[in-house]
Amino acid sequence: METTKKRLRKDFAPLTVSVTAQTVNAASAALQQIYNTDSGEYEPDRSVSPLQIVPVVYAGASDGSWPMANAGNKLANIKWYANGSQLSALSEWANLYSIKSSSDNQNGLLTISYNIPPRVNYDLHFEADIPDTRLGINVHIKSDNISLNTIAKAGDEYKLSIGDDQIIQYNPFKDNLLLYDYKVSIGNITASDAARVAAIDENAYERIITVGVHKGSNVITTGYTIEMYSVSDTGTLTQVATPELLELTTDHVKLDLRLIEKADYLLLLKVGGVEKDRQQFSINRIYPAYTVEPISAASILPGDIAVRNKVSVQYDGNIVDLPDPILQLIWKTDTANKAGVVHNEGSKTIIYLDSTGIGDTNADDWLDMYVESTQKAAMNVLTDENGHTLTDENGNILIG
């Protein structure tokens, strides 16, 4: 006869999602316009060269059931908002925008033909759903704000620009400077100024963003100041200070990306204390897909008191030699007598058998060894129990 049926379901990990919005047309991608009060013209003129902004959404699951990939083509129920209201509800935006619906990564592309009047500011964001067919749910997402505004040109026109993308992504797996610091800290190599300089490239946590200023058609290097602010979800501006801001001069900004998870920044150009122009950019730490596997599967001998092992970590088809500064790696074991026993952390381990519950009979002489991994988030300033910032003997702020 047939037994009763028991339904077993797959247990999927929830999605991890990275959400940004990005301009796509370089020729007219400026989020800020200049209005010439003499000619009545906008620069850029969006009625001629519309601004286009596309949702950039990466989604993945830690169990590998949804590989980290651009999920823009999967977005549903896409809506764009300005100052908290849906664009369709704003009369001044009527017939001056369109939202693309497609099956590719331009799904949700917002095309703007609206020339923003001077002294009017719009904070744009989009919301959408990612249908997660594994769990049978819709994952709702919301981007940070992107500010659109217009400065009226009066007298000499000042223009502030940055020599970098408006959306800067930091990937610790590609950071040779982070790896250099870790090698020095564990005594793997000796500190060297030349080696440190060689480790600094476009993927390093020390990020230099060049700043350029024009007055009319001329490049200027004096007679102005640059201020830097972080922009909250509600649009509140807070002046940025150390330690994430390493340097701020009239020609560049230097940031420590290790301390930034996701942030929007605003640079203000001031002449005589009066704002002349502004430039916005954002920093995002990304969490790409990777694999972790214990290397050794050697048998345990009767006289052994401990076993040793280490992990093999692969990212983008390459082995990550020293994953410790990037990943939290927790070693665990299961036996017939104990399950989920936590032992230690790191890419290498020594596990003492008396803590695992392994037995001496055919029924319980086995041990399953495995690693739970998580990519480490942004670092923080270290403080004592009273909230005081910790420093080293030279007064440098400690982070970790």
Q: What pTM value is reported for the model?
A: 0.60
Cis check: omega of the bond before 243, within 30 degrees of 0: yes
CA 33 to chain centre: 27
Beta bridge partners of 101: none
Contact (Cβ atoms closer than 8 angstroms) between residue 98 and residue 133: no
DSSP state for residue 247 in the 8-state scheme = E
Q: pLDDT tens digits for 218-277?
A: 889 899 999 999 988 888 889 988 788 999 999 999 999 998 899 999 999 998 888 889
Query: 3 pLDDT band (50/70/90 cuts)?
Result: low
Query: β-strand 51-61 against 15-23: which pairing, if any?
Result: antiparallel
Please name which of 129, 178, 163 lies closest in space to residue 17, comparing C-alpha atoms: 129
Neighbours of 369 (CB within 10 A): 18
Contact (Cβ atoms closer than 8 angstroms) between residue 207 and residue 294: no
pLDDT confidence of residue 394 = 60
Which letter, b or e, does each residue of 229-248 get, where b requires 16 or more Cβ atoms within 10 Å of its Cβ? bbbeeeeeeeebeebbbeeb
pLDDT confidence of residue 395 = 55
Q: pLDDT tens digits for 107-141?
A: 989 999 999 998 889 999 999 898 888 887 888 98
DSSP state for residue 175 in the 8-state scheme = -
Whether the pLDDT of residue 391 is over 60: the answer is no
Q: pLDDT tens digits for 164-183?
A: 888 899 999 999 999 998 89
Q: Give the span between the Cα atoms of 180 and 106, in whole angstroms.
A: 38
Q: What are phi and psi of 242, to 5 degrees?
A: -65, 160
- Supply angle C-alpha 318, 319, 321, rounded to 5: 135
Q: Give the span between the Cα atoms of 17 and 110, in whole angstroms.
A: 21
Query: 155 pLDDT band (50/70/90 cuts)?
Result: low
Q: pLDDT tens digits for 306-348?
A: 889 999 999 999 999 899 999 999 989 888 899 998 999 988 9
Looking at residue 209, its amino acid is I
Q: Give the span between the Cα atoms of 366 and 337, in whole angstroms.
A: 10
